[in-house]
Amino acid sequence: MSANLPKPLLEAKAVAKHFGGVKALRDVSLSIRHGEIYGLIGPNGAGKTTFFNCMTGLYIPDGGGFSFDGTPLVANASDQAAARGIARTFQNIRLFGNMTALENVMVGRHVRTKAGVLGAIFQNAATRAEEAAIRQKAIDLLHYVRIEERADDLARNLSYGDQRRLEIARALATDPKLLCLDEPAAGMNATETEQLRELIDGIRRDGTTILLIEHDVKLVMGLCDRVAVLDYGALVIEDVPAVVQKDQRVIEAYLGA
């Protein structure tokens, strides 16, 4: 990535979150630049998903806040985060199981479309055109993640890897500026992980900034432009992979020394 004038897309300022006495996040500050793949790693329970949930409005932080694309991010409603352009996937896949793969992606267009009840009932020209556009976009996205032949299958009947892909397609349907992937490679074999790497790289090339939470250190180091390490809810380091890999504190955090 070019280093000249990196404008941050997302900035976290001293974000804190505690559950009872457990401090899940201790004043975490970091910034994600336009167009980069940003990795967030750390041992189990380091606060990665908590950070994610605070950012996407699922949790309300106890301190600090976020700014996104230059303006503060109102962090108390996840539908607003999506409207601003933050899309996410879930560590434990959350698809709409009894809807088809195509419908799952079509729902993703909800936030960028506007047909209401009256439009649906009277089927006016604008609604029909919008509906056709939604369907076309959804089909295109299924092609993009290469599961178009599963379009009419119920999401719950897709294979594990395809479900991960479908979740990414659904997130992309919201036209995100920032795509947040929560452990997308979890449970994948080497071939599937390699295909995922190509997919993520392709999404970035097509102009979407990516935040990646991942356990697979090899994947993160090979793919990310910059990496942040969390341990016990605090930020240990934020730098390019080459530096992070050699950092003594990171090695200690992972080896538990």
Partner 1 sequence: MNFGHFFRSTVGIATLAALLVALPFVAAMGGQAWVRILDFAILYVFLALGLNIVVGLAGLLDLGYIAFYAVGAYTWALLASPHFGLHWPIWAILPIGAGLACLAGVVLGSPTLKLRGDYLAIVTLGFGEIVRIFLNNLNAPFNITNGPQGITLIDPVSFGAFQFSGTTQILGFAVSGPQKYYFLLVALAILVVIINLRLQNSRIGRAWQAIREDEIAAKAIGINTRNLKLLAFAMGASFGGVAGGIFSAMQGFVSPESFSLIESIMILAMVVLGGMGHIPGVILGAVLLTVLPEVLRYGVGPLQMALFGKMLADPESLRMLVFGLALVLVMRFKPAGLWPSPERQRELQETGK
| Binding stretches for partner 1 (CB under 8 A) | 56-58, 77-83, 87-88, 90, 94-100, 103, 106-111, 113-117, 119-121, 123, 127, 130-131, 134, 154, 156-157, 170-171, 173-174
Shortest Å distance, C-beta 151 to partner 1: 13
Name the residue nearer to partner 1 (CB basis): 126 or 243.
Answer: 126
Shortest Å distance, C-beta 117 to partner 1: 6
Name the residue nearer to partner 1 (CB basis): 80 or 195.
Answer: 80
Shortest Å distance, C-beta 123 to partner 1: 6
Shortest Å distance, C-beta 144 to partner 1: 17
Three-class DSSP labels, the chain: CCCCCCCEEEEEEEEEEEECCEEEEEEEEEEEECCCEEEEECCCCCCHHHHHHHHCCCCCCCEEEEEECCEECCCCCHHHHHHHCEEECCCCCCCCCCCEHHHHHHHHHHHHCCCCHHHHHHCCHHHHHHHHHHHHHHHHHHHHCCCHHHCCCEHHHCCHHHHHHHHHHHHHCCCCCEEEEECCCCCCCHHHHHHHHHHHHHHHHCCCEEEEECCCHHHHHHHCCEEEEEECCEEEEEECHHHHHHCHHHHHHHHCC
Name the residue nearer to partner 1 (CB basis): 147 or 155.
Answer: 155
Name the residue nearer to partner 1 (CB basis): 166 or 253.
Answer: 166
